[in-house]
Amino acid sequence: MYFGSDLLTARDAKVVPLRILAHLGDAVFALFERERQTLQAVNVKQMHEKTASRASATTQSELLNVVLPLLTDEEKDLVRRARNLKASGSRSAGQASYRRATAFEALLGFLYLTAPERLKEILESTLPPESPV
């Protein structure tokens, strides 16, 4: 999954600012959803609407609740630190949801750089039971 020459170690990835991990994780999640919708959507408009719905701060905040029980202590620590980042600007989802969504995205960005198989496992755990990847 990682397009760089090598995956980063967890130690190396920890020096990447959390906001950058979240930015990367947002792109990873959007691509995951678009790829998934490619096989399910009837048209591009439907694909966009379903992807945008799943990539919203409110939904990502809820997805964090789904994955939290599956996380290692190291992953939980990263989520905690990312959740504590100050929210910038006004968000329609509310500050608490936005912070939790940022934590979810930072986790995905971290796993994208360090552990593609673990990333896949976490992403698959967010799917509704009847949805194929």
Domain edges within the chain = 10-124
Instruction: Choose, from 6, 12, 26, 73, the residue flagged as catalytic.
Output: 26
Distances, alpha carbon 28 to alpha carbons 50, 66, 73, 90, in Å: 16, 18, 22, 24
Q: What number of H helices and E strands is found in the chain?
A: 7, 0
User: With pLDDT > 90 as the criterion, what percentage of the chain qualifies?
Assistant: 54
Q: What is the pLDDT of residues 83-124, one digit of tens each?
A: 988 766 555 668 888 899 999 999 999 999 999 999 999 999
10-124: CATH class: mainly alpha
pLDDT of residue 93: 63
The answer to whether 26 is a known catalytic residue is yes
Gap between the terminal Cα atoms of the chain: 15
- Say what the pTM is: 0.86
Q: What is the pLDDT of residues 17-34, one digit of tens each?
A: 999 999 999 999 999 999
Give residues with Cβ within 8 angstroms of 3, minimum separation 6: none
